[in-house]
Amino acid sequence: MIVRSTESLIDELVAILDEEIDLLEQKRSQLADLSEALVSADDEATETLLKQIEQTEYTQTRVDIRLRDVRKALAGVFGYDDARALRLSVLVSELPDTQASAVDDRRGRLARQVGKLRRQHLQTAMLLVECSKVNRMMMECLLPAGETVTTYDAAGTNLWRNGAGLVDKEL
């Protein structure tokens, strides 16, 4: 087993926290771009963004694993039986001033990025709810509830094709 020094663990922690900050900003930006793509009904951009969001989640998983490992190692160094008890605020109080300052700076930046991401997530979720309402209202106008809907083919024949959609219209 390779024993890492406390200083190298803190350096690694700071680097991982920087990656977390970047990932949070990337996620916020992706949600903002997704909102714009939805509003402009740009299907290609939406698909591209959804693929990017999926890739970002894979990256997040890898960073989370590295963070968990460093946190566990630091918990051992500082005598914590449970790594979950070692929070950044607790760690800051255990470190020398220069290291404490670097970790505390990242902790503040993380908190701000989380706040920005939460706001953007809420805005995007509200947009999706409104889009759903508009779509439902449009469908109710096109296909009123309680009324029989008759479909016709291009020649005007009343021919029902099982499995075919009721409406083929791009709005």
Please give the Cα distance from 118 to 108 (Å, whole number).
15
What is the distance in angstroms between the CA of the first residue and the CA of the last residue of the chain?
62
- Range scoring the smallest mean pLDDT among 8-17, 88-97, 104-113: 88-97
Q: Is residue 134 scored above 90 in pLDDT?
A: no
Closest by alpha carbon to 94, among 109, 80, 108?
80
Nearest CA among 67, 66, 94 for reference residue 80: 94
Q: What is the pTM of this model?
A: 0.76
pLDDT at 1: 43
Alpha-carbon span 73 to 63, nearest angstrom: 15
